Amino acid sequence: MYNLPKPYLSHSQVSCYQMCPKQYWYRYIHKQIEEPIFAVLSFGTCYHAAMEFNFRHKLTYLTDRPVEEVVTYFLERWSKCQHAIFEEGQSWAKHVNLGISLVTKYMEDYAPQVNPIMVEQKHEMEIGEGLLFQGVLDLYTTERKVIDFKTAAKAWSSSKARESDQLTGYAMLAFDLTANWPTCTEIHCAVKEGEGSIKVVDGGPRFPYHIDDYKKTLHSTARDISEGIFYKDTSGWICQKDRCPYFTDCMHG
């Protein structure tokens, strides 16, 4: 048994720990610093919510919502993010047109081909030694595809998708839910470059050996957390003032 701050591990927890164990400590154990709202995360959340809004409807009624409804849903949520922290050269207003463009392109060109049987499906499974893994599948389709939505400055590469532990974790959850291996995994990436574009990136299938390797990563992370290993990693991209909400406190701590 492990001594964890939550009764389960998720991919976001593991990813946070891998980027910087000290950031994990601040976020999940210390929890005394209010996290600022970064626009890059808020934009992704709003886009993701718009996709969920459409596909929950499609799950019930077998048809997509009108494009205008989904765009309006995105804009309603984005309107609440005007005080988010933007990177240099970016603004709330610029992201209005970008969001409209990305949502419209996805709804017109990609959504019609997606037929979900699960939308935002939360699931928890035991992976040995009392360790629970929890995650939320964005979409699982009639073709047994695991689809995960991303917003990014640049499109994901196929190699990045094929090596993604997150997709492996979601494939593991899908198998536990259905007793069938997903046929493939995909990243549906809303690329924020220029006027915006949508890229569907093939992450390939996942096999038992992928799952075994990922379980080893989960157990290794759980052991390190249980042993109180929370060192400061200043070498990663996350260790910057405009990317880590704990940067100032951490550097002076």
pLDDT at residue 219, as a whole number: 98
CATH 3.90.320.10 maps onto the chain at 116-217
Beta strand 116-126 with 132-141 is antiparallel
Whole-model pTM: value is: 0.93
- Distance CA(18)–CA(34), nearest Å, equals 22
Architecture of the domain defined by 116-217: Alpha-Beta Complex (3.90)
**CA–CA gap between residue 40 and residue 92 (Å, rounded):** 10
Predicted local distance difference test score (pLDDT) of residue 37: 83
Kindly state the tokens that stand for 139.
Answer: 């979409």
**pLDDT digit of tens for each residue in the chain (253 aa)?**
899 999 999 999 999 999 999 999 999 999 877 777 889 899 999 999 999 999 999 999 999 999 999 999 999 999 999 999 888 888 899 999 999 999 999 999 999 999 999 999 999 999 999 999 999 999 999 999 999 999 999 999 999 999 999 999 999 999 999 999 999 999 999 999 999 999 999 999 999 999 999 999 999 999 999 999 999 998 888 888 777 888 888 988 6
Nearest CA among 201, 221, 181 for reference residue 14: 221
Q: How far is CA 15 from the centre of its chain?
A: 10
For residues 180, 183, 184 and 190, what is the CA-based torsion angle, rounded to 10 degrees?
A: -90
Q: Extract long-range pairs of 105-110: CB within 8 Å, 24+ residues apart.
A: 105/196, 105/197, 105/198, 106/51, 106/188, 106/190, 106/198, 107/54, 107/64, 107/65, 107/67, 107/70, 107/71, 108/67, 109/198, 110/188, 110/198, 110/200
Q: CA-CA distance, 238 to 211, in Å (whole number)?
A: 27
The C-alpha atoms of residue 161 and residue 143 are separated, in whole angstroms, by 19
The CA distance from 25 to 17, in Å, is 8
